[in-house]
A and B are shown apart, each in its own frame.
Chain A
Amino acid sequence: MSQCCASELNQEAKDKIYEIIAAHKDKPGLLIPILHEVQEFYGYLPFEVQKLIAEELNIPLADIYGVVTFYSRFSLTPVGKYKVGVCMGTACYVKGSDKVLEEFKKQLGLEVGETSEDGMFSLEATRCIGACGLAPVITVNEDVYGKLFAEDVKDIVEKYK
């Protein structure tokens, strides 16, 4: 685990995490809902956070790490302020989402899974988001853009800069 040197959590963050855990504790199989909520609050799940959850739930840290790394929605590293997700579902793929993705890589200077140094953008190739009627489709946080061509990418990126 490369997060060994992550900065200490401040007390406020700790309290909030304790609160989330307390709300779920004692029900069976609640690790994943807890991880969802903690990630929503903290943005990602660094080593310090996992350790705290492990101690509170009395589950070995290795188990927590195993779960966090198994599921693609859980992230060990911070994600950008704007999370660009290019849908790579089949309907989007057959309509050219790979070209849209290439253009995003170029415009953002990022590979899939990376976050820009200024923390503004991160780029993901997402699974089907189910808006197949709008293929190819991308999301920037909650905003959805559909029926795209590679040429449209530049304007979208500009909007968030």
Chain B
Amino acid sequence: MEFYRSHVLVCGGTGCTSSGANKIVKVFEEELLKHGLNKEVQVVKTGCFGLCALGPIIIVYPEGSFYSLVQLEDVPEIVEEHLLKGRIVKRLLYAETIAEDNTIRSLNEVDFYKKQLRIVLRNCGVIDPENIDEYIALDGYKALGKVLTEMTREEVIDEIKRSGLRGRGGGGFPTGLKWQFTYNSQGDQKYVACNADEGDPGAFMDRSVLEGDPHALIEAMAIGGYAVGANKGFVYVRAEYPIAVKRLEIAIDQAREYGLLGENIFETGFDFDIEIRLGAGAFVCGEETALITSIEGNRGEPRPRPPFPAVKGLFGKPTVLNNVETYASIPQIILNGADWFASIGTEKSKGTKVFAVGGKINNTGLVEVPMGTTLREVIYEIGGGIPDGKKFKAAQTGGPSGGCIPNELIDTPIDFDSLTAIGSMMGSGGLIVMDEDNCMVDIAKFFLEFTVEESCGKCPPCRIGTKRMLEILDRITEGKGEAKDIQKLESLAETIKSAALCGLGQTAPNPVLSTLRYFRHEYEAHVNEKRCPAGTCKSLLQIVIDEVGCRGCTLCTKHCPVNAISGERKQMHIIDQEKCIKCGVCIDKCPFKAIVKR
């Protein structure tokens, strides 16, 4: 084995790859070769470091220098200064990592990482996901070895039950019980399936695990297969995640090569193999019965339960179906014990939860916190607060099935039950932050548009009901709302909730109900006063130039895309309301802040 004195870890998650990480790796290798350092310094493309807002990110070890927003041009400098001459390139360091005495702080002392506890993400950003040896070096496949050689199937299920692990896909159903039900079902053939059809907009937790630590999933599915008595697994993953699919394919091949998938694993007589199935762009396929129907090659329409998949799942056989993050917790539970896992989190929600934090927040990225951490801690301490000095308005969790949590409730601990109690839900882990410029009626409409488009059409409450709700929201945001519309929305929402066939339909009204609950005044302003308090809804908006502030600099006229602004130099300018498309470019460009929404 080669010995390297330095390691350059380049984040290869989707975020950093999108901003050029692959090219950076290439230039690093070229530069190292040029300086004859290629035998001394190893470049490793890892999974996501989590701090996507600062990508592309590079960490150089052993120093632990965290370089952020690295551009291609910076690479020769890092190689020459840091790797050749041993001088850290200070100007590229993430400012938070520089201590007062000018030394480098460990990442665990940085606000973004300090409050995090990385169990699911422990290998993301640490190992090369395309190299099984690196996973094995960090106790990989040890849990599988342990269950196959030391534990009975019943003991495995009992361990998972005692850990208190609940489904991370959104439902929160106890994982151990699910395994028990599948174990109890009679069948000549059983299946283990993984839901990697991460469809919630703004959620990328599962993708990051697949991209950063694919072997954790493979190992956990094999453990699940042993426990419930299945020898075949399916991973249903979004076709929109090409990097994740590729790394998972590589990982499966490597596991087969090492005999960790296939026949007679660890020479215990246990056979297990995994097949990948690609989704094809249907949100409803994240619902378990729809997912199963889709793997079978059909239109991904849900069916009524019972029978539950544990009794009658894939190809009519008993199937245990969990999501990626749930699986990724399992090897650690086996290795460290159920008591260890159960000691983390709250009474009814154990362990950690990964959130994809996005929207109007400084540190967009991926965070993993113990259950029970408050929203405030995630948004302000880890997330670094709201950019541009704006005011926090709401946090949206649970995607199209969840709700908006207002400022008053920002101290709510994040766990399954607390979030449900305030009208939102844990969901799969998307957490979108909104500020004062976001209109809550518009956000509700945004989610309804999503569900209307993604409704599979099988049951009328969802197919027709959500459409009617959207029509009402369209009216309201266009200033045509009527007094009764709010009641109509509420009554439709309750009907859909109680009558729709599957989880997608039953939860579709949540974004409307939760915004009505906490931001009713915004709906009322739209309906009664024909006014959008956030200044988002275009039909209810006028953009005007303030007489006092305007200096006649003509900057706005130059940027207006529709030539709606007129006025002589040094004279006050006027916006032609007929022509104005309310794009707001002029507001951003005016150096005197003289253009306002009304």
Closest chain A residue to B55, Cβ basis? A133
Do the beta carbons of A33 and B278 come within 8 Å of each other?
Answer: yes
Q: Which residue of B299, B360, B365 has the most chain A CB atoms within 10 A of its CB atom?
A: B299
Give bound CA distance, A83 to B439, whole Å: 31
A73 in the interface, Cβ–Cβ < 8 Å?
yes
The total number of A-B Cβ pairs within 8 Å is 142
Chain A residues closer than 8 Å to B438, beta-carbon distance = 94
- With an 8 Å Cβ cutoff, the count of chain A residues facing the other chain is 42
Q: Which residue of A129, A130, A132 has the most chain B CB atoms within 10 A of its CB atom?
A: A130
Closest chain B residue to A93, Cβ basis? B446
Cβ-neighbour of B446 out of A67, A90, A126 (below 8 A): A90
Supposing A90-B202, A91-B358, A94-B360 touch, asked if A131 and B14 sit within 8 A by C-beta, the answer is: yes
Supposing A102-B583, A132-B52, A150-B585 touch, asked if A71 and B300 sit within 8 A by C-beta, the answer is: yes
Chain B window 149-160, contacts with chain A (Cβ cutoff 8 Å), 1 for yes, 0 for no:
000000000000
Closest chain A residue to B15, Cβ basis? A133
Nearest-Cβ distance from residue A91 to partner chain B, whole angstroms: 3
Nearest-Cβ distance from residue B78 to partner chain A, whole angstroms: 22
Do the beta carbons of B365 and A133 come within 8 Å of each other?
Answer: yes
Q: How large is the interface on B (under 10, 10 to 19, 20 to 34, 35 or more residues)?
A: 35 or more
Closest chain B residue to A87, Cβ basis? B201
Supposing A29-B295, A134-B15 touch, asked if A128 and B203 sit within 8 A by C-beta, the answer is: yes
A144 in the interface, Cβ–Cβ < 8 Å?
yes
A88 in the interface, Cβ–Cβ < 8 Å?
yes
Enumerate A102-131 residues with CB–CB distance to B below 8 Å.
102-103, 106, 126-131
Closest chain B residue to A96, Cβ basis? B584
Chain B residues closer than 8 Å to A126, beta-carbon distance = 240
Enumerate B241-257 residues with CB–CB distance to A below 8 Å.
241
Enumerate A41-70 residues with CB–CB distance to B below 8 Å.
63, 66-67, 70
Give bound CA distance, A32 to B296, whole Å: 9
Do the beta carbons of B202 and A89 come within 8 Å of each other?
Answer: yes
Do the beta carbons of A127 and B283 come within 8 Å of each other?
Answer: yes
Chain A residues closer than 8 Å to B360, beta-carbon distance = 94-95
B567 in the interface, Cβ–Cβ < 8 Å?
no
B426 in the interface, Cβ–Cβ < 8 Å?
no
Do the beta carbons of B202 and A134 come within 8 Å of each other?
Answer: no
Chain B residues closer than 8 Å to A73, beta-carbon distance = 239, 280-281
Do the beta carbons of A146 and B277 come within 8 Å of each other?
Answer: no
Give bound CA distance, A30 to B55, whole Å: 38
Chain A residues closer than 8 Å to B559, beta-carbon distance = 151
Nearest-Cβ distance from residue A156 to partner chain B, whole angstroms: 14
Do the beta carbons of A67 and B299 come within 8 Å of each other?
Answer: yes
Chain B window 165-199, contacts with chain A (Cβ cutoff 8 Å), 1 for yes, 0 for no:
00000000000000000000000000000000011
Closest chain B residue to A137, Cβ basis? B18
Give bound CA distance, A90 to B277, whole Å: 26
B424 in the interface, Cβ–Cβ < 8 Å?
no
A86 in the interface, Cβ–Cβ < 8 Å?
no
Cβ-neighbour of B432 out of A31, A94, A130, A146 (below 8 A): A94
Do the beta carbons of A131 and B15 come within 8 Å of each other?
Answer: yes
A81 in the interface, Cβ–Cβ < 8 Å?
no
Give bound CA distance, A132 to B15, whole Å: 7
Do the beta carbons of B19 and A36 come within 8 Å of each other?
Answer: no
B332 in the interface, Cβ–Cβ < 8 Å?
no
Do the beta carbons of A130 and B207 come within 8 Å of each other?
Answer: yes
Supposing A29-B315, A99-B583 touch, asked if A70 and B55 sit within 8 A by C-beta, the answer is: no
Supposing A73-B239, A131-B14, A132-B356 touch, asked if A91 and B202 sit within 8 A by C-beta, the answer is: yes
Chain B window 199-220, contacts with chain A (Cβ cutoff 8 Å), 1 for yes, 0 for no:
1111110010000000000000
Closest chain A residue to B204, Cβ basis? A130
B125 in the interface, Cβ–Cβ < 8 Å?
no
Chain A residues closer than 8 Å to B207, beta-carbon distance = 130
Nearest-Cβ distance from residue A60 to partner chain B, whole angstroms: 12
Do the beta carbons of B443 and A94 come within 8 Å of each other?
Answer: yes
Question: B-side interface residues toward A, CB under 8 Å?
Answer: 14-15, 17-19, 52-53, 55, 198-204, 207, 239-241, 277-283, 294-301, 315, 356, 358-360, 364-365, 396, 399, 430, 432, 434, 438, 443, 446-447, 456, 559, 561, 583-585
**22 A-B Cβ contacts within 8 A?**
A29-B296, A30-B297, A32-B277, A33-B277, A63-B298, A72-B280, A72-B281, A88-B201, A90-B432, A91-B202, A91-B358, A91-B364, A126-B240, A127-B283, A128-B203, A128-B204, A130-B204, A131-B14, A131-B18, A132-B202, A132-B364, A151-B559
Given contacts A72-B281, A128-B204, A134-B18, 6 further A-B contacts (CB under 8 A): A29-B298, A32-B280, A71-B280, A94-B360, A130-B204, A131-B15
A-B interface, 6 closest residue pairs, ranked by CB to CB distance from nearest: A133-B52, A91-B358, A71-B280, A89-B201, A130-B204, A144-B18
